[in-house]
Structure 1
């Protein structure tokens, strides 16, 4: 006589693996369910251990899941394999399966796996190779996680071009530069080591330009608080930087009058060097920035140190023309042209890859003017230093004069050491001398105006 089937074995409590007997007599455990999970979802689910989230292939890109999809899959699979065994349908079992799957080599990745090819652009209609402009079918092995806000389409973006002409006084050089910049933003490259600062009074098109660019870039765009790039007494949390991983365009706005740039951070973020950051409650990880910093504001933040490294990075684009009759529907009209504007940007990208980012005369002039205004030391040197063969001045006296001038102009004078470095950039080096009696540091070939009058009078 055939023996009746026995009831499932009891669940073992504690930290040990839950193990039951399935109705067909085969033993089922969290491990066997996890293996089945991988066999079923290994090609469509990846777990990013830096972000602490699952990513699912949706047929177009790898999309970060925010709904505990993997847990739901694990629970459904546990019920299916358990064939009615209540223990396997419990949330704890599904959580155990999902946790084991995270570490499986078929699922486990880090953030460095995503969007690594700087020339590939994900769009709703497929992947574009920015070097050729060719469109191809989405490929999960390319690990693309982002899509633009529109698919490119043929046609001339007439409303967009008219907007640029009216905002930039028909300056075709400037329009071409912005086309190159927008195309450069599509890539994951940072080879230009540059940022764009769109400057001018309100109501002149800055926000329209930025909002249109953000919308077209879609997932590739990120918005950061201006505090991320402005000088602060407190260090910004590295989570702010972690949120910029993978972005190709980062925008900021609402610059405040009197604020200064966080110069060391800007140099690091635009230089292409690796950055260490972390997400909340996650470990630190290192990534190489891909984003191009594009900032709009009514006020240009101050520079504490005017050096060639900062001068090379900055591109000041003046938007100074305010339309007489603003079109309140302009952004809506431009949104209808996103596909054509994206095609315009792709054309600009291909030209950038061939010719680079050439500055037009308007940007050169505006950038030079900005740096001249920021160079308080240069202004002091021009106004207070007399260059003359045979002249000399005590280093302490020169530094004291600069210190007084700097404070009067709202500038931090810095140390005597930084003063010496600034003088060396002007080919003036201090040396020990007894020309003033006791041994002290002096500069030769330069003197203050009062000394110049006295010395000329003595002559």
Structure 2
């Protein structure tokens, strides 16, 4: 880990060690002469690029996580933090959950910015969140702002993130919130200086705005006429207040740097409102808050901590929390009897009396879904399951089994109402397991409320006895034993006791492992139907033409059985139009046939059908619309689209071993549209990998880090955005896959519309309709081939026919003439060096590869006293191109044609031909 930290330092990024459990800084602050900690002298303020200091740190803490100081490193990080927010319905006590996935967070940010974030270096956190890396914009550095949508944090000046390849062990066993897992790279090459994109102007404007959006400003909630409920607080309200105190103290202890003071002040305020209402003892509450603050002091000393608490505490005591309705709700539930379908509990600490998220907790009034399954029949069924871990597994499967699946190569997936979600699966699974354990108390209460059967009274006739027995059958509780002291042990009490035991960490952690075998699935089971496309308001179901029936599409409800893991962001509205997009496309692609092709290519990229086996290269100088086109489609397709590293498609000196992890390829599973930006000048496609990734055959041996391999089903189409054309092979297998799409129109600066991206976002449904029509056209007639693309592709392929250029310049085909294979290779290598057509490795083609390419062009090798090529007459000698290891700068001599009677130019005198065959 220390070597990785040093590598970052050499990149100019300031690092420091962090706790392997929770990511807090390990380096303490300096102290003054009195022994007091000097403010802002420890933690991230110790970040450095000094390799000696870094080595010393990691010798002391070898497995420490790598903290990276954002602002001082010239970076700005966006932290997308997926989670499940929970509130409690005050009427029913049901737990209401609001799931914030990474996609939902990105959609919220897109709505605020008016455009999607550009592709940039991105890392993934153990919880499934994402860190997007941007360059700090010029001007005053941006700090840790809080004016982006909920659960999207900014790390700038004074902030830090944990960088890959850090691994976290978690602090759940200590009552914390951090689970185990690794930080890993999602996209981009951190060593590439251009991998970190400029922060978009729209984002910078928002972050430099010092005012918060009105909806996000914390409101000072004052309850008029609310009186303290001292002496009238029942047990449920006390439990509510204690739970609130526990939650606030936990949040104070785990608050990140940059949010610590604000969180402490807010927590003190909330707890003080409960003290003012008489729900908590002031001594207990105040000492608990102070203890939590001391456990996470940051760089503050005792005096500063107490001052922060006093500020919030004083304001809270002046605003007592109104708990009367919570108490009334509790009494009402008791009058209704035991709960039927959920646990009975007061509203969550972060909620108001109407069950909505409190503005004090930063909540928002958003749509939430009810969690927890069960009616009387289910509760009764679960109550009589074994009181063992396997019995709890059966409880979990009956309540939540249809909502979770386990794939060995990926991990857990959870049904979120639209798709099988991988990002939030572990969090949702944890909630479901905990709810299953807590629901055992519901089972116990249900059995207890039914009563214990009573014997029939004496004197009943036969019909009365039968009626009595029928009535007693509805009583489910039983007396199991009576202790010597007279204590009665009932079935319901043993169920309740088992429920409390099951809430232990060991039973909770074992359940997901037990469930893996019962809910297993394979990667190939998902996203397998190429004609289903998930969008924001449902699933598009395409049909192929059949006889007289044309290809078509309809919108259906998302279904678990479809096993879809991806979702687009646009709403399908068949009546929507897109005038701004139509005008844009007509401007950058004036020909009808080119616009038609792009519509079909976009529609083809919606489908999971890769049978056309084509790759598109969007070629042209900047300001020509190709990036806008790609980004618009990417935004619409959501996580069906993927920004791959260009290195995935390029040839390199280091070949990938079959045992190597391939997270860049694993990330392509289930995608439909894959695109990559800008190859380096002189780079060349990896012909073999391009063929595999444009085939309709699976690619085996693909695996994520620390996961077993799986077969990658090719459902995606590849588009390369290029200002320079990468090199490519010349065999038929690669040539037939290429389509070079010219973008020749350059938009002058004065014609460029800075609001275009925002306008296109508003027209997403209309643009989606064009894509849908393109998909239907593809299903009916396949990909069109405009003459413009055909000519451009042929010219591109001819430019890359290196051997063809050599043969036309240096070789004359003369029947009966021969040349030694070594002499021919020497001539070719000299010409290739002189022509500056060497591959990325900087070395000429090998003799073996040259021979294979000559054979493709119908040249034949034969044996005499040495290995020779037949019917070849060389027009030049090797030293016409290279002398003394340097390319010749003079003009070439006239070619020595056979008809001119010149003797064939021979190779340089090496004294031995390696192809000579010994006698």
SS at match of 1:43: helix
- Whether 1:194 aligns to 2:614 is yes
Match of 2:726 in 1: 301
Aligned partners of 2:873 and 2:623: how far apart in 1? Answer: 48
**Length-normalised TM-score, structure 2:** 0.44
How do 1:150-189 residues align onto structure 2 when only pairs under 5 Å count? 150-153=570-573, 154-168=575-589, 170-189=590-609
Superposed, 1:198-213 pairs within 5 Å as: 198-213=618-633
Q: CA, structure 1 residues 27+385, in 2 after alignment: closer, same or farther (shift >3 Å)?
A: closer
Could you tell me whether the CA contact under 8 Å between 1:75 and 1:93 is conserved in 2?
no
TM-superposed deviation, 1:454:
5.4
Change (3 A) 1:31 1:365: same
Task: Report whether the alignment pairs 1:225 with 2:635.
Answer: no
Report deviation, 1:453.
Answer: 3.5
2:761 pairs with 1:340: no
Judge conservation of contact 1:204–1:321 (CA < 8 Å) in 2: yes
Match for residue 291 of structure 1 among 716, 722, 733: 716
Deviation at 1:392, TM superposition (A): 4.3
**Within 5 Å, which residues of 2 pair with 1:21-36?**
28-36=387-395
Q: Please say if 1:445 is aligned against 2:889.
A: no
Question: Could you give the per-residue CA deviations for residues 115-142 of structure 1, whole angstroms, max 9, x where no partner exists?
Answer: 1111111112222122211122222211
Distance 1:130 1:200 in 2: 33
Aligned 8 A contact 1:386 1:452 in 2? no
Structure 1 residue 66, shift from structure 2 partner: 4.3
In structure 2, the residue matched to 1:398 is 824
Decide whether aligned partners of structure 1 residues 394 and 455 sit closer, same or farther in structure 2, where only a CA change above 3 A counts: farther
Do residues 428 (structure 1) and 786 (structure 2) align?
Answer: no
Helix, strand or coil: the match of 1:83?
helix
Q: 1:11-50 residue pairs with structure 2 within 5 A? A: 28-50=387-409
CA contact (8 A) 2:610 2:717 kept: yes
Distance 1:253 1:29, change over 3 A: same
**Structure 1 counterpart of 2:145:** none
User: Take 2:434 and 2:388, find their aligned partners in 1: how far apart are those partners?
Assistant: 13
- The answer (yes or no) to whether the contact 2:533–2:541 under 8 Å persists in 1 is yes
Within the candidate set 244, 250, 260, 2:684 is matched to 260
User: Among residues 900, 908, 911, which one is paired with 1:456 in the alignment?
Assistant: 900
Distance in 2, Cα, partners of 1:273 & 1:228:
18
CA-to-partner distance for each residue in 1:287-331, whole Å, 9 max, x for gaps?
Answer: 31211011102122222x321111111111111211121111111
- Taking a change above 3 Å as real, the CA distance of residues 122 and 101 of structure 1, as seen in their structure-2 partners, is same
Answering whether residue 354 of structure 2 is matched by residue 354 of structure 1, we say no
SS of structure 2 residue aligned to 1:54: strand
Query: Contact conserved, 1:315 with 1:363, CA < 8 A, in 2?
Result: yes
Residue 846 of structure 2 corresponds to 415
Consecutive unaligned residues in structure 1, runs of 5 or more: 1-23, 434-438
Aligned to 2:555: 135
Partner in structure 2 of residue 4 of structure 1:
none
Shift of 1:382: 1.0
Preserved CA contact (<8 Å) 1:377 1:406? no
Q: Partners of 1:174 and 1:92 in 2: how far apart?
A: 62
1:449 offset after TM fit, Å?
2.3
What's the CA shift for 1:205? Answer: 1.2
Tell me the distance in 1 between the aligned counterparts of 2:640 and 2:798.
35
Match of 1:20 in 2: none
How many angstroms apart in 2 are the aligned matches of 1:178 and 1:359? 11
Distance across 1 between alignment mates of 2:662 and 2:849: 29
Matched, 1:62 2:420: yes
> Which of 510, 522, 525 is the equivalent residue of 1:110?
522
In structure 2, how many angstroms separate the alpha carbons of the residues matched to 1:397 and 1:231?
Answer: 28
Task: Output the CA distance in 2 between the equivalents of 1:49 and 1:423.
Answer: 47
- Residue 803 of structure 2 aligns to a residue in which SS? helix
TM-superposed CA distance for 1:444, in Å, is: 3.8
**Per-residue CA shift, 1:361-399, capped at 9, x if unaligned?**
111121112112212211111111123455544443333
**Bigger CA drift: 24-33 or 324-333?**
24-33
Distance 1:426 1:67, change over 3 A: closer
Shift of 1:401: 1.5
User: What TM-score do you get using the length of structure 1 for normalisation?
Assistant: 0.87
Task: Indicate the structure whose relative CO is greater, using CA pairs within 8 Å and at least 6 residues apart.
Answer: 1
For the 8 Å contact 1:193–1:271, the answer to whether it is kept is: yes
* CA positional deviation for 1:455: 4.8
SS at match of 2:837: coil
Alignment CA distance shift 1:72-1:445 (3 Å):
same
Which residue does the alignment assign to 1:95? 509
3-state DSSP class of the match of 2:901?
A: helix
Q: Which one of 774, 792, 795 corresponds to residue 366 of structure 1?
A: 792
CA distance in 2, matches of 1:217, 1:158: 20
For 2:391, what is the secondary structure of its paired residue?
helix
Compute the displacement of 1:270 (Å): 0.9
Aligned match of 2:670: 246
Contact 2:414/2:429 (<8 A) preserved:
no
- Residue deviations 1:325-382, cap 9 Å, x none? 1111111111111111111111111111111112211111211121122122111111
> Structure 2: how far apart are the matches of 1:420 and 1:144?
48
Alpha-carbon distance change, 46 to 429 in structure 1, aligned in 2, over 3 angstroms: same
- 1:86 has 2:500 as partner: yes
Residue pair 1:250, 1:291 contacting (<8 A) in 2 also: yes
> Partners of 1:263 and 1:63 in 2: how far apart?
34
Q: Structure 1 residues 50, 432: CA separation in 2 closer, same or farther (over 3 Å shift)?
A: closer
More displaced 10-residue stretch of structure 1: 24-33 or 379-388: 24-33
User: Is 159-168 or 412-421 further displaced after alignment?
Assistant: 412-421
Aligned length: 426
Compared with structure 1, are the counterparts of its residues 367 and 27 closer, same or farther at alpha carbon in structure 2 (3 Å cutoff)? closer
* CA shift for structure 1 position 251: 1.1
- Partner in structure 2 of residue 377 of structure 1: 803
Aligned to 1:42, the other structure's residue is in SS state: helix
- Whole-angstrom CA distance in 2 between matches of 1:121 and 1:165: 27
Aligned to 1:267, the other structure's residue is in SS state helix
Query: Hey, what's the Cα distance between the residues in 2 that align with 1:351 and 1:155?
Result: 19
Give the Å deviation of 1:197.
0.9
Distance 1:224 1:403 in 2: 34
Q: What's the C-alpha RMSD, in Å, of the aligned pairs?
A: 2.3
Provide Cα deviations, 1:386-442, integer angstroms capped at 9, x if missing partner.
234555444433332111111222324323232222222332213235xxxxx3344
